[in-house]
Amino acid sequence: MNFINIVECGIVIRRQALLSKFIDIDRLSAVLEFDAPLDMSADLISFGPCFGGEATDELTRRLEAVGLQYVDDFFVFSGEFPMWCKFKVGINTD
């Protein structure tokens, strides 16, 4: 299993969801107004940080506007974490 880096107030998207809706990385980067993803694997892609709740709410609306569904296709990783923690995420293949 491949794991990708994620950050607080970051967004994780399933690549299969992008493929099924014909959304490529360039279009996704434009929708989210990021130059490039934070990290990616064959299954997942992450962007961030988004700098707070208002920003993540706006990006959630933009992703939903292009046809992605919150939780099924993407999620926002947020919480209060110490700076000494690093998080990674992988896709569940069970």
Predicted confidence (pLDDT) per residue in 54-79, tens digit: 888 899 999 999 999 999 999 999 88
Question: Residue 18: inside a domain, yes or no?
Answer: yes
Q: How many domains does the chain have?
A: 1
Residue 53 has pLDDT above 80, yes or no: no
Q: Is residue 94 part of a domain?
A: no
pLDDT at 24 over 80: yes
* 77 to 20, 26, 46, 61: CA distances (angstroms): 23, 22, 10, 16
Q: Is residue 17 part of a domain?
A: yes
User: Do the domain assignments include residue 58?
Assistant: yes
Q: Which domain holds residue 83?
A: 4-89
Q: What is the pLDDT of residue 54?
A: 84
Question: From the CB of residue 84, how many other CB atoms can be counted at a distance below 10 Å?
Answer: 5
The enclosing H or E element of 44 equals strand 44-47
Tokens 């694997």, located at residue: 41
82 is a domain residue: yes
Q: For position 78, which CATH number holds? A: 3.30.70
